[in-house]
């Protein structure tokens, strides 16, 4: 945090210090990167060496075989097909779940009586392991895209809803009072105090729900489907094709990391006031 009151005394030697600090931070980053690269290379090399020598490739496959499998899927266009399906389910589920979660969370947060009435139902539904609903949704909505989207939506909804609702309860009453005394209307207070302070909670809920959206989609695919990465894993395992299982898992990992990074970037853009202070 900038202690601006004392700056004039320190201004003289600030640039040098800042330069040194930046340089050492850059160095530190390089060292960390180098270690990461080293661990990756060493791990892959060990895996490749062990496969066929210490452990049968049937159990652990090998990086080169996984690479070959991925290359094959890319050439045949199969990979893109499955990725597209899983991504569509995940994103649709995420967006629908987030929108409804934010909406209902705010509605209950701003309407105390409604929240009190619905409280036991919410707790009951929330404590249910959402994945257990997959068979029911497949029964209702078929083996296609829809049942997976519904499952992902359901999972995301509860996470985002719960965070949004908690956020409305955590709004600083003193901030609200200050605006009331200034003559702010209910609507103005919602727009200028409640929504901005809940935004942080909404983002947290959205961030933690991204991997769950993916889980919802993939679990749905594994239970009943003929497309998507979940199906790919299930089908490969059914044929004792370890290369296929690992290759599909690798793709899932890339997708999950990509989604997480995208959300983190958008959060940084929207919550600039917070970033600056720390």
Partner 1 sequence: MSEAPLIEYRGVARQFTSRRGTVMACEGVDLTVHRGEFLAIVGPSGCGKSTLLNMAAGLLKPSTGRVFYHGAPVPEPNTLVGYMTQRDTLLPWRTVEDNVAIALELRGQRKTERHRHAHDWIKRVGLSGFETAYPAQLSGGMRRRVSMARTLAYEPETILMDEPFGALDAQLRLVMHDELLKLWAATGTTMVFVTHDLTEAITLADRVAVFSARPGRIRAIETVDLPRPRDVFRIRFDPRFGELHDRLWRYLEESVRGDIMVG
Q: How far is the CB of 9 from partner 1 (least distance, A)?
A: 14
By C-beta, is 126 or 188 nearer to partner 1? 188
Q: Torsion angle, CA of 241/247/251/256, rounded to 10 degrees?
A: 70
For residue 184, the 8-state DSSP code is -
Full DSSP string of 11-62: GGGHHHHHHHHHHHHHHHHHHHHHHHHHHHHHHHHHHHHHBTTTB-HHHH--
Task: List for the chain the helix, strand, coil content (%; round to 5).
Answer: 85, 0, 10
Q: Using CA atoms, how far apart are residues 134 and 150, in angstroms rounded to an integer?
A: 9
Residue with tokens 């929330």: 126
Q: What is the length of the chain? A: 278
By C-beta, is 13 or 276 nearer to partner 1? 276
Q: How far is the CB of 167 from partner 1 (least distance, A)?
A: 14
By C-beta, is 2 or 12 nearer to partner 1? 2
Residue with tokens 């601006």: 4
Q: 214 burial class (0-12, 13-18, 19+ CB within 10 angstroms)?
A: buried
Tell me if 114 sits within 8 A of 176, measured CB to CB.
no
* 258-263, Cβ contacts within 8 angstroms, sequence gap of 24 or more: 259/90, 259/210, 259/211, 259/214, 260/207, 260/210, 260/211, 263/203, 263/206, 263/207, 263/210
By C-beta, is 106 or 223 nearer to partner 1? 106
Q: Using CA atoms, how far apart are residues 62 and 203, in angstroms rounded to an integer?
A: 38
Q: How far is the CB of 129 from partner 1 (least distance, A)?
A: 35
By C-beta, is 184 or 211 nearer to partner 1? 184
By C-beta, is 3 or 239 nearer to partner 1? 3
By C-beta, is 54 or 273 nearer to partner 1? 273
By C-beta, is 196 or 238 nearer to partner 1? 196
Q: How far is the CB of 6 from partner 1 (least distance, A)?
A: 8
- Positions touching partner 1 (CB under 8 A) are 1-5, 172, 174-175, 177-185, 188, 192-193, 196-197, 199, 271, 273-274, 276-278
Tell me if 235 sits within 8 A of 242, measured CB to CB.
no
Q: How far is the CB of 262 from partner 1 (least distance, A)?
A: 22
Q: How far is the CB of 172 from partner 1 (least distance, A)?
A: 8
């Amino acid at each position: 945090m900038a202690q601006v009151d004392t700056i004039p005394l320190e201004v003289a030697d600030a640039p040098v210090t800042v330069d040194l600090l930046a340089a050492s931070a850059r160095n530190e980053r390089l060292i960390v990167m180098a270690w990461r690269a080293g661990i990756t290379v060493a791990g892959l090399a060990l895996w490749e060496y062990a496969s066929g020598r210490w452990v049968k490739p049937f159990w652990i496959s090998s990086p080169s075989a996984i690479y070959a499998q991925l290359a094959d899927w890319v050439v045949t266009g199969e990979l893109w097909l499955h990725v597209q399906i899983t991504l569509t389910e995940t994103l649709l589920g995420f967006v629908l779940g987030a929108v409804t979660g934010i909406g209902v969370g705010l509605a209950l947060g701003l309407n105390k009586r409604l929240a009190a009435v619905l409280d036991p139902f919410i707790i009951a539904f929330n404590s249910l392991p959402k994945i257990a609903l997959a068979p029911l949704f497949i029964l209702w909505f078929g083996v296609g895209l829809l049942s997976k989207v519904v499952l992902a939506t359901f999972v995301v909804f509860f996470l985002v809803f719960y965070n949004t609702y908690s956020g409305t309860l955590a709004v600083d009453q003193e901030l609200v009072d200050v605006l009331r005394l200034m003559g702010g209307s209910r609507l103005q207070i919602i727009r200028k105090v409640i929504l901005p302070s809940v935004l942080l909670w909404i983002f947290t809920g959205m961030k933690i729900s991204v991997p769950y959206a993916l889980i919802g989609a993939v679990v749905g695919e594994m239970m009943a489907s003929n497309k998507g990465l979940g199906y790919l894993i299930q089908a490969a395992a059914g044929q004792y094709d370890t290369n296929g299982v690992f290759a599909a898992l690798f793709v899932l990992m890339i997708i999950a990391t990509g989604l997480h990074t995208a959300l983190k970037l958008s959060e940084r853009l929207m919550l600039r006031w917070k970033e600056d202070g720390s």
